[in-house]
């Protein structure tokens, strides 16, 4: 039996759930990390599940199935992480965070000392430096292979140096 290898499918915009359904029909093991998004419209509250990493789907395939996936209309590129163990560990951390009750969302790579611009709210347009985070802080869970990260909000006293 051929070993399954993790791949990252880079997809055309807004096709993540379509390709996930294709993988389900074809029996291809895959992961589409989704986060919970709540919107309020005219007094109603609607819950949506959106892809945490837009335009990406993670799948395990045998080399023989690689061409089947690549030929799908919505797949722009199929990439194989060079360090499978690191990829599995990082993806596992993100999936574990999604299974919990913490709020998880796509995170920009913002660090202390970095120059940033406020993009919404009453201070929109202001620029400054990230000096320190206190109280609620964000812990960034990286997925290095695709250069993306997910942020989880936690209390500052809930973290320690690794």
pLDDT in tens, 68-107: 999 999 999 999 999 999 999 999 999 998 988 778 887 7
The boundaries of the domain holding residue 68 are 5-158
10 Å Cβ neighbour count for 75? 18
What does the pLDDT read at residue 128?
A: 59
What CATH number has the domain bearing residue 64? 3.30.70
Query: How far apart, in whole angstroms, are the C-alpha atoms of residue 24 and residue 31?
Result: 10
Mean pLDDT of 30-47: 91
Predicted TM-score (pTM) above 0.85: no
- The count of structural domains within the chain is 1
Mean pLDDT of 18-32: 96
10 Å Cβ neighbour count for 156? 11
Ramachandran area for residue 42 (φ above 0: left; ψ -120 to 50: alpha; else beta): left
């Amino acid at each position: 039996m051929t070993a399954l290898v993790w791949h990252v499918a880079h997809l055309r915009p807004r096709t993540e759930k379509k390709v996930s359904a294709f993988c389900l029909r074809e029996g291809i093991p895959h992961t589409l990390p989704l986060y919970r998004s709540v919107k309020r419209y005219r007094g109603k509250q609607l819950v949506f599940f959106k892809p945490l990493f837009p335009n990406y789907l993670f799948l395990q395939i045998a080399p023989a199935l690689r061409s089947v996936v690549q030929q799908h209309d919505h797949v722009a590129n199929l990439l194989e992480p060079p360090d499978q163990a690191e990829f599995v560990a990082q993806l596992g951390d993100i999936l574990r965070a999604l299974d919990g009750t913490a709020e998880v969302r796509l995170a920009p790579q913002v660090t202390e000392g970095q120059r940033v611009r406020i993009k919404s709210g009453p201070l929109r347009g202001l620029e400054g430096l990230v000096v320190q985070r206190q109280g609620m802080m964000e812990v960034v869970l990286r997925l290095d292979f695709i250069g993306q990260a997910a942020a989880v909000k936690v209390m500052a006293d809930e973290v320690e140096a690794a």
